[in-house]
Structure 1
């Protein structure tokens, strides 16, 4: 059992095998050679894992994000942010942070935000005199907000793995996501003041009104998504489908930026991305099922309870585990593999599963830009040609800012649960 569920997957990951293949190989070897169960159980569990209404939201949100990213939606949001901040110190990086948070409330995809916002903001940041190291760190780090702020795809996956409510997790993610954005905003303003950089034109109410009018349709997407969910009009999955229709109508008929062929191209790319995600979901569910039927989670609970650790010490240990895992494994795979294993321990320690979900996603958001293998690092390096050493140095201050936010989110559960209790 140890050989098939621990040694085989570890060896395959060291060899660089895809995550889904690692999980499927370990699961198949366990079913075929260790456990006395029919092989049909493997097929049934694989297909049963993706037979979930909540998971339908994943391709819908991906598609909406693709449509919004192809058009000028992000550009219009940038214009609103720049008009609102005027010529204050740090207005340009501040607009970068604000745009990332708003764009994340439409797509929920971190790497897409890095690519979209980076292509719009890097040149203006360079023209205003911001150092390359700062530009690289800012663009690489701000996309991680989208892992936490709804409609976050990792939160949907966590909800499926932990049998939790997607609307509750969405409500719980709002304040932590805004907290991280606020911390980043304070830092970039301080940094600009330290360098003496002044951005943009003086504030103009007329300019802000024009920007809001041009970008009103773009800002409608998060209002429809979250307003529809908490107004009781539709479920998270239905809201994702509505967001797709809204994005297609806006980009095709309102802004007139995408042709029907381009809309179909977005759909084709979404199919590929959805397949990559759902095959990991299916294989991880099989792996988690094998861990559960062999009572490995309960053995872990007994082991930790024997150490008599307090809840804050358990949270500290789990934070360290997820920070390390997030450096090497993508967020969805980490959530799917570790959540079934750790959930009994979390419940036994009296930790709220919704709060724990936000703690997990914050850790894995940090992993998106944490050296050595953060996905956002490679997106920034490949698209914008930053040298890796420049990116690594640039993200150091942002890494400490995210870690400070993680400490607050971990040990002040109110930040995650206040909105949940207010709504429910």
Structure 2
């Protein structure tokens, strides 16, 4: 297998911008089927910034290919993209939020194109937005930062260096998927996000597997089964949507307070009918009656407010339980989901083989290692996935002994949670 070419910007010595034309070598010679020095893929929302870069590159005699000018009308985007990559020496990706959301998914959709690009072409990721989530399959590449004062110098230096020289100095072997261990993917967003109340649970698309997961999950039916488990929480709430059911439930819940009000009203009516006027009612009874009305009315309001708050917490709690149950299925495909809110689920790519072996050794004498591992997934995997996605844990990462390089592995997370008596 051909190696992956990693552009290491650490080896590029930045030069003052005014000296660039004199110090840069001539652009590499285009040979064979090559027509361009670089193919630039970017989102149309970033065209203003990208076009300014294209102008500067072309002023240095570099042949640039980009979709607005060089794609052939009448052909699919993937066909155009594939041909342009094949005809270019290098590939530059302008990474922004919109690019990752739309165009990157399109590139990933054709795995053969993506692999060929990884294996044969130097990829130069340019981070345009500092908050962008770098795509899973680019996490191991060194990227250029658009906010770097020496960005243009570094970019020109890379583009003017022949591929064979880059291969000779910065090549690394093709990496196994473990290089993505612990990386966050794009979160899942509920299809009914806009119409959700705070106490409702989101409903997620369980028919279409996201493009980013098609490259990872071998048995895509497992993904559908897992999301259906999460959707059961929202489906159970749909039964409570009819107005008459909610009214009946509310009536049952506040029945004790209605009883208090009814008794108070009965007492006052009885007293008033036996008295010639309200002033004939003893002052003590007046105060007690008014106090009963006041307390009963406020109790109803407080009770409904607490019920609403508890319903919100209960929805999130049920979604967390459901995502933990779903992770028993997804963990076999090296994927975990976590409940971030009632409308968003975190999604991470993580190996649990080492942690699973740890459970097997710990509970080998009891003979229930598999059950204990499933129990841990059910109770803790949702929170673990969210912590991985946010890159933040409620405790200091342990320096040694984990199964996730540079991070907290699942069995470490479970151990810390249990030490804090948080077996949920």
Q: What TM-score results when the alignment is normalised by the length of structure 2? A: 0.25
More helix by share: 1
The structure whose Rg is larger is 2
